[in-house]
Amino acid sequence: MKLLGKHLDKDGSGYVTLRPDDDEDIWHLYNLIQEGDRVRASAVRRVQNVSATGSIESHRVRLNLTLAVARVTWSPSTAAAGEAASFSTDASTSTSAPAHAATLHISGRVTSENPHVKMGAFHTLDVEVNRDVRIEKDEGGWDSIALGRVEESCVPGRGAEVAAIVCGEGTATFCLLSQHMTMVMHRLEVSIPRKIAANSGAHEKGLTRFYSALFTSFLRHIPYSSPTIRAIVIASPGWVRDAVFDYIMAEATRTGNKALLSTRNKFIKVHVTSPHVHSLVEVLKSPEIASQLKETKFAREGIMLDKFFKMLGADEMRAWYGPVHVALAADRGAIGTLLISDDLFRASDPIMRKKYVQLVEDARQKNAEVLIFSSMHESGQQLNQLSGIAAILTFPLDVEVVEAEEREAKEEEERRKQAEENGEDVNAG
Amino acid sequence: MSRHRDVRNINVADELDDGAVSDGGEEDLSPQEYEQLMSGLDHIRATVGSQEQSGLSDKEIKDTLYHYFFNVEQSINYLLEAQTRKIAARERKAAKEREKAEKLAQQKKAAEASAKLPPAKPKKATGAKLSGASTPVRSTDIRQLDLAGLNLDDETVLPIDEPPPKITVAREKVLEEARKQLEGNADKKTVSLVVIGHVDAGKSTLMGRLLYELGRVDDKTRKAHERASSKIGKSSFSWAWELDGTTEERERGITMDIALQSFATPRRQITILDAPGHRDFIPNMISGASQADCALLVVDAAVGEFEAGFERGGQTREHLLLVRSLGVSQVVIAINKLDQVQWSQARYKEICKLLRPFLIQSGFHPSKTKFVPVGAMAGVNLVARDGDEAQALNAWYSGPTLCDLLDELEPPTRDLDAPLRFPVANVFRTPSSVIAVSGRVCGGLVQVGERLRIVPGDETAVVKAIESEEERLEWAAAGSNVTLHLTAVDPRHITIGSVLCPPTDVVPLVTSFTARIIVFDIQVPITAGTSVELFHHSRDVPASISKLLATLDRASGTVLRKNPRSGEKHVGRGANYTSQHNRFWPYSPSTTDPLRAILCQQGNGEDSHSSWRRDNRSRYRNRIELSL
């Protein structure tokens, strides 16, 4: 993403103009734009003119509109298209359109005067790649989280990507992992008859069919020769990954695909326990991947989430989750690592957002490590289900003891208040 | 009441009366001790059975536990001893008044047990009985079923409100016949057996050799396997090749998927499912185990090998827990490769001693666990114990051979009146290019000509033929492992894991449900959001836990804690699961196909299984969303 203009006041109001470059930038915009912001972007609108004679003339106008945001919707690029594509559809030779089409729709009322559109009319903006967007926020809108995201998204050359094929016998899922997103490009399912003792012809035929379908999908969906792809991971239980890798290489040699052959050393084979997409978490924390991608955000997320769960198993008093509990831990300065999902910052309630921003800022001030998980990754989705916020504490704290303390403090407060009131009564009397 | 009473001389009836009024001696226990006591009680109850079955009252168990300072194993041993002693004592001194009440129950039990033994009947040819189903009457039956299968009435809404299907004459006849066969009037009872154990324990080799000994494999194939396996330098795997059919399995010398074979012992027709031992293929093993009635555990006796399989992370332990939670209660333990330890009796005893407490802990009743020493490669003690190889074993072992033990396996009771449930374990084309599905009939009956609904999906298929052991059948009843040939269906509508059921009684599909789970040995506790894999029959669905509702007491089901933060080890709990990606999961709420499935926690490698059982109580049932 490119930062084209920025004008901020001290009170956190102002605007930022951005130009998204790819799908991931669209995701960033989705996380930046809150309800109530004003967004200016180019739009196409059908305008009707009624002439003096009463005839109606309608034409499309491209114009810049400013909206007061009422609703933002995001749909990831290929998840819908690739869902449950079976072998039969895949085998057809039709070349599908390039899969980059993450979309962001912003709807709301028009707030700026315009010759074509009336003030207060509704419009829905489609945010597209390479079209400028200006986001204007009210006082306090540009908090540290929002600015952090702008900064992060505008760092050039951040696009270290990993392609992953999670496969089992007969199933394969092709994914692209970038800093903030996991995109499921394609799902492949080929039914393979299971072996019948001593007669394995059908089984082996099914396997060959599966490998060749996998190879064609691989060519179509994985941009293996792209320089931004750091690694191509083949993950599976059993030995499917070896067979898949051997098949891909053999086919590349047979067809003389030099580009593919030259990427041979990018391939990493990882053992996982299940052939489903959620074992991507397992991929990211495997030593082979962790050593290669240590500095990338998503690998770090995977490792930290794993650490949290291990802590939960080993020492329950040092692993807390849930907004209420984490807030209590923060009050006591106990947070060592804060794991928080970006989902929470998208809360439509600005007070809620402010609360979480405060929590993150406090934690940072106390030298705690803060990881903002992207809910477009598997690890982020797992965190989301765990209420979206979790913390590894620096020292053990018993949830029940802390809750009891809180209760006591509250009662104390009430008693004092009551006493004060009584005292006033006495004084008054 | 004194704390140090003599547990051996307890008057049971008095104690029971006493216990009903007050909890007696438990009052002066600390809460911790009480908890230990209760958990111990549950453990023991799970092993010895309920009060009526075992003749042991809660009170007795509690006292024993107290006596042994809550050591479960010792207590179980003592109680089991006491149980046998009681039976013996009863026979001796029948006049004794105070044991009267208990005695009655015991006698009744004994009577029941003797009734269960199959009456020895003269043998008859197997085929004659099966071909009896009358064909002419069936046509009406088909028409009705066809009508139902046309989806004229909107059955997708809810099948509950529909009138029950009319039972035609043919159906009744078949039912009667099936019942006769199951009651033991037929020549041989059928039992299916899953072979489990740690990787390289010799499961496939044992099975290959056993098939050979029983004459199921001819010398020609055996020689061919011997030659081919020594060609690639794996001559020690030649016996396993009978079951490991694929090139990859043979090259790696490892079983990767279930192999199905069958053989006959004098009194049983046994279907064996040879399961893979490698932990990456646990899903396949579960698929096999859910088709089996009994289990054969193969243990490697070689020094270090047994320990490797039995330690944490070894499959000996894991498989036993899995098959038990899938409802298998009879297990035969074959201690293999004793030839590698010079047929040492000490080693055999040592292994038995290590395994026994674990089996009891896992919930196998000692009377249903049998041990047998074998040497699979040489074929010692499989069917017979003769020849030079067996000399060393004959010196100290005179018990039954493996085959004798398999001959004694008791098939569980089958429910024929339940609606048909046929989970598909394999889909393939026969050489004549007919679509065939194999699997086990989990409940009810299936007949040739019947129209069946395929779930999930909206398709139906007609059963063209039923095949078992290369023999054509007219019908198949619950408990049999068969292959169905289907027509009038596109093969892509059937996948491994689909369920075939009557169009009038469709299995409901769910995307989320409330279940009670039992957590085994896990490293990372379960929390809301934990990704799990759900295995049920041959289906394998990614899912996640949406909420932990409560931590439950394992036996009584009382709520210990509501909304727990995480699930600790070894505690049963109610939890709510949601399947991801909108993948439907067919399941049947009938009692015939007990809803046991295995959940496998993601990414923790070994030892991370938990099993769950959906609660049959209505308050849980109401929670399940039905969607179709």
Which of A89, A189, A192, A278 has the highest number of chain B CBs within 10 A, making it the mutation to test binding with B?
Answer: A278
More confident residue, B594 or B191: B191
User: A236: distance to nearest CA of chain B, Å?
Assistant: 9
Tokens for B484? 């169905």
Which of A86, A195, A276 comes nearest B533 by C-beta?
A: A276
Is B520 touching A (CB cutoff 8 A)? no
pLDDT at B520: 67
Q: How far is CA B114 from CA A204, B104, B315, in A?
A: 50, 15, 36
For residue B497, pLDDT over 60 is answered with yes
CB spacing of B525 vs A88 below 8 angstroms: no
Is A139 touching B (CB cutoff 8 A)? no
pLDDT at A152: 86
pLDDT at A298: 81
Residues B63-107 have pLDDT tens digits of 777 777 777 777 777 777 777 777 667 666 655 555 565 656 566
More confident residue, A123 or B139: A123
Residues B402-414 have pLDDT tens digits of 999 999 988 888 8
B525: confidence class by pLDDT, cuts 50, 70, 90: confident
pLDDT at A356: 92
User: B422: distance to nearest CA of chain A, Å?
Assistant: 17
User: A235: distance to nearest CA of chain B, Å?
Assistant: 12
CB spacing of A321 vs B565 below 8 angstroms: yes
More confident residue, B312 or A66: A66
Tokens for A127? 């945010």
For residue B186, pLDDT over 70 is answered with no
For residue A92, pLDDT over 60 is answered with no
Pairing of strands B539-552, B572-579: antiparallel
For residue A217, pLDDT over 70 is answered with yes
pLDDT at A378: 85
Q: How far is CA B57 from CA B10, B37, B49, B225, in A?
A: 11, 14, 11, 57
Percent of chain A with pLDDT over 90: 32
More confident residue, A43 or B168: A43
User: B426: distance to nearest CA of chain A, Å?
Assistant: 6
> What is the rounded CA–CA span in Å between residue A54 and residue A60?
19
pLDDT at B160: 37
B608 in Cβ contact with B523 (< 8 Å):
yes
Q: Which of residues 50-109 of B touch A (CB under 8 A)?
A: none
Altogether, the residues listed in chain B come to a count of: 628
Q: Which of B217-221, B383-387, B588-592 has the lowest mean pLDDT?
A: B588-592
CB pairs under 8 A between A and B: 123
**Of A186-200, A297-311, B525-539, where does the model show the most confidence?**
A297-311
User: A299: distance to nearest CA of chain B, Å?
Assistant: 15
B240 closest CA partner among B316, B298, B293: B298
pLDDT at B98: 56
For residue B227, pLDDT over 80 is answered with yes
A214: confidence class by pLDDT, cuts 50, 70, 90: very high
Is B427 touching A (CB cutoff 8 A)? yes
Which of B274, B524, B602 comes nearest A313 by C-beta?
A: B524
B521 closest CA partner among B320, B286, B221, B222: B320
User: A281: distance to nearest CA of chain B, Å?
Assistant: 8
- Cα B227 versus chain centre, distance: 37
CB spacing of A243 vs B602 below 8 angstroms: no
User: B569: distance to nearest CA of chain A, Å?
Assistant: 9
Which of B238, B258, B285, B524 has the highest number of chain A CBs within 10 A, making it the mutation to test binding with A?
Answer: B524
CB spacing of A278 vs B542 below 8 angstroms: yes
Pairing of strands B330-336, B294-300: parallel
Is B127 touching A (CB cutoff 8 A)? no
pLDDT at B486: 92
Tokens for A329? 């831990």
For residue A78, pLDDT over 80 is answered with no
CB spacing of A312 vs B566 below 8 angstroms: yes
A39 closest CA partner among A148, A118, A141: A141
For residue B615, pLDDT over 50 is answered with no
B349: confidence class by pLDDT, cuts 50, 70, 90: very high
B22: confidence class by pLDDT, cuts 50, 70, 90: very low
pLDDT at A288: 82
Is A89 touching B (CB cutoff 8 A)? no
Which of B428, B524, B530 comes nearest A310 by C-beta?
A: B524
A393 in Cβ contact with A318 (< 8 Å):
yes
Cα angle: B311, vertex B315, B316; to 5 degrees: 75
B59: confidence class by pLDDT, cuts 50, 70, 90: confident
Q: What's the start-to-end Cα distance of chain B, in Å?
A: 60
Rounded mean pLDDT, A147-173: 85
Q: Which of A104-108, A178-182, B68-72, B209-213 has the lowest mean pLDDT?
A: B68-72
| Residues with Cβ within 8 Å of residue B77, at least 6 apart in sequence | none
pLDDT at A198: 54
> What is the rounded CA–CA span in Å between residue B473 and residue B494?
22
For residue B315, pLDDT over 70 is answered with yes
The torsion angles phi and psi of B123, rounded to 5 degrees, stand at -80, 150
Q: Which residues of A touch B243 (CB under 8 A)?
A: 197-198
Rounded mean pLDDT, A15-42: 90
Residues A396-429 have pLDDT tens digits of 888 888 888 888 888 999 998 888 877 766 555 4
CB spacing of B248 vs A243 below 8 angstroms: yes
For residue A340, pLDDT over 90 is answered with yes
Residue of B nearest to A275 (CA): B542
pLDDT at A389: 93
Residues B229-270 have pLDDT tens digits of 999 888 888 888 888 888 888 888 889 888 888 888 888 889
What secondary structure letter does DSSP report for B338?
G
Rounded mean pLDDT, A8-34: 89
Rounded mean pLDDT, B466-485: 87
pLDDT at B117: 45
Which of B531, B539, B610 has the highest number of chain A CBs within 10 A, making it the mutation to test binding with A?
Answer: B531
CA dihedral A71, A374, A266, A246 (to 10 degrees): -80
Which of B246, B260, B602 comes nearest A279 by C-beta?
A: B602
Mean of all residue pLDDT scores within chain B: 72
Place of tokens 């799902």: A187
User: A170: distance to nearest CA of chain B, Å?
Assistant: 11
A317: confidence class by pLDDT, cuts 50, 70, 90: confident
Residues B572-613 have pLDDT tens digits of 334 444 333 333 444 433 333 344 555 555 433 333 334 444
> What is the rounded CA–CA span in Å between residue B302 and residue B347?
9
pLDDT at B592: 35
Tokens for A387? 């209420």
Which of A190, A192, A281, A309 has the highest number of chain B CBs within 10 A, making it the mutation to test binding with B?
Answer: A309
pLDDT at B549: 75
B275 in Cβ contact with B318 (< 8 Å):
no
CB spacing of B246 vs A200 below 8 angstroms: yes
For residue A114, pLDDT over 80 is answered with yes
